[in-house]
Amino acid sequence: MASAAVHQSQSSKTETYTDNKRKDDIRQTSIVAGKSIADTVRTSLGPKGMDKMIVTGSGEVIITNDGATILNKMEVIQPAAKMLVELSKSQDIVAGDGTTTVVVIAGALLKKCLFLLSSGIHPTVISDSLHKASQKAVDVLTSMAIPVELSDRDSLVKSASTSLNSKVVSQYSSLLAPLAVDAVLSVVDSIKPDLIDLRDVKIVKKLGGTVDDTELVKGLVFDKKVSHSAGGPTRVENAKIGVIQFQISPPKTDIEQSIIVSDYTQMDRILKEERNYILGMIKKIKATGCNVLLIQKSILRDAVTDLSLHYLSKAKILVVKDVERDEIEFITKTLDCLPIANIEHFREEKMGRADCVEEVSLGDGGKIVKITGIKDMGKTATVLVRGSNQLVLDEAERSLHDALCVIRCLVNKKFLIAGGGAPEIELSRQLGAWSKVLQGMESYCVRAFAEALEVIPYTLAENAGLNPIAIVTELRNRHAQGEINAGINVRKGQITNILEENVVQPLLVSTSAITLATECVRMILKIDDIITVR
C-alpha cells in the first residue's frame, strides 16, 4: 500500500514537470542582443556624444551620430535585436528626434527585466506592470509640459536648436534652427493647421561652400544648369513657365524596328520632316507666350535633342531638362500650374508665372537654376543646403530633417518640455514614490522602470566627461526639493535650471520615446521561443 502511494506520487511529479530552461535561454538571448544594440548607440547620446563612422559594403563612408541612421546602416541578424532597429525607425516617423534616446531607454528597461526575471517574477506580470508605468509616465510628462503658441517664434527656434546641438553640425545651429522654423511655418495650411507634410519642404543639396551658405529660398531651386545651346537665354523676367511631360524630339515607331534609307534625297526628306515636326511644336509653345520650359525626364526617348534645343534658344525659351518624375508634383504645387502631357493641351491657363528665372553660378560648386517671385505660390518651401564635402553635406541634411520634425511635432502637439535629463529624473522620482503605494510584484516592476529611466541623465553626464554618479545624485536631490526643471548643463558641467538655458524639446518626443520603448520591451519579454521557417 505504502509502495503504491510512493509510486503514485513519483508519477504525478513526472507528469507535472516541464523543462523551462530553453524558454529562459531564448528570452535571455533576446534581451542580451537588445542590450548590445542599445550599448552601441549609447555613446552618441547628447550634445557631447561621440560620432560613428559607418563604412558600407560598397565602401561608402558615413559620419553621423543620428541614432536612426546608425541603426539603419547596421547589419543586424538576431531577430529581437532587429526590433530595436525598427523601434528607432518608429521614433523617427512619429517624432523625427529622440531616435537614440528611445533605444537607450529600451536597453535600460531590458537590463532591469533581466534582473526581475532572475528574481522569479513572471514575464506577463512584468509586461503588465511596464504598461501601467508607461501610462503613468505620460501623465507625469504632460503635467510638466509648457503650452506654446506657433506665434512664439523664439520658443520654436529654441526647440530646433536643442535637437541640432547634439549633431555634427551643431556649430551652425544658430543658422539652421531659424531656417527650419521658417520653412515649416511657411507650409502650414490654414485649412488643416495641425497637419504638416514635410514633403512640402524640399531639401536641395549642392556641394561647395560651407554650411553657412545654406539658405531658405522662397521659390524653386534645380540642382542643374540651364540646357542652352546657340546662345539661349539664362535669365528670364516675367516668366511664363510650362511643365511638360512630352518629348520635343522626333517620334519613334510604335514597334521596335529598323528603317534603312539608302537614297540621299529620302534622307534629306526625313531630316526635313523632323525639323518641321519639331518647329511646329515649338511654334505652338511660343504662341501661348511661354518663355520657360521644365521638361520631365523621359525613359522612352530623348526628351529634347540638339536640334530642338537650337530652335528653343532661337525662340528665346529657357529650358531646364531632365526634371525627375517624382519632383513634378512638388513643382506644380509650388508654381500653381498643371503638368502638360500633350502638345495639343498646351494652354496659357495651365502655366505658372514668376518674376524671375535665372541660372546662378555658385563658384566652384557649379550652377543652379532659381525660380523666384512666384505668383500665387503654393504652400511649399525649398532649402538649399551647402557643404564643403559630401560627408558634411549629408549630415547637414539629416540634422536639418530632425529640426524640421521637431517643429512639426510642436505644430501637432503644442507643448514644450525641458531637456537635459530633467523629465527622466522627475519621472524616476515620481514613479518611485508611486511604486510604494502599489502592492506585490507590481511595486517591484514599477520601481525597476523608474530606476531604468535614470540611464538618460547618467549617459548625458558620462558622455560629457562628468562624474555620472555625483551628477545624478545631486540631480535627484534637486528634484526632491521641487526643482522639476533642474537638468544637466553639459556646457557648464553642472546642474542648472535647464529652461533658463533654453534647452527644450517637444512633449511628443519624450512621450513617444517612453511609449515606444516600453512597447518594444514588452514584446521582447513575451518571446519564449524562436522558430525558423525555411
Which is catalytic among the residues 40, 64, 66, 459? 66
Which is catalytic among the residues 40, 64, 99, 334? 99
Which is catalytic among the residues 92, 97, 200, 402? 402
Burial 468-481 (b: 16+ CB within 10 A, else e): beebbeebbebbee
The strand pair at 292-296 and 146-147 is best described as unpaired
CB 233 within 8 A of CB 316: yes
19 is catalytic: no
Helix (H) or strand (E) holding 96: none
CA 109 to CA 454: how far, in whole Å?
Answer: 10
Helix (H) or strand (E) holding 192: none
322 is catalytic: no
CA 386 to CA 389: how far, in whole Å?
Answer: 9
Q: Residue 381 pairs with which residues in a beta bridge? A: 201
Per the structure block, which three cell numbers stand in for 176? 539652421
66 is catalytic: yes
Q: How far is CA 221 from CA 2, 328, 359, in A?
A: 94, 13, 10
Burial 104-143 (b: 16+ CB within 10 A, else e): bbbbbbbbbbeebbeeebebeebbebbebbbebbbebbee
305 is catalytic: no
CB 242 within 8 A of CB 291: no
Which residues have a catalytic role annotated?
Answer: 66, 99-100, 402
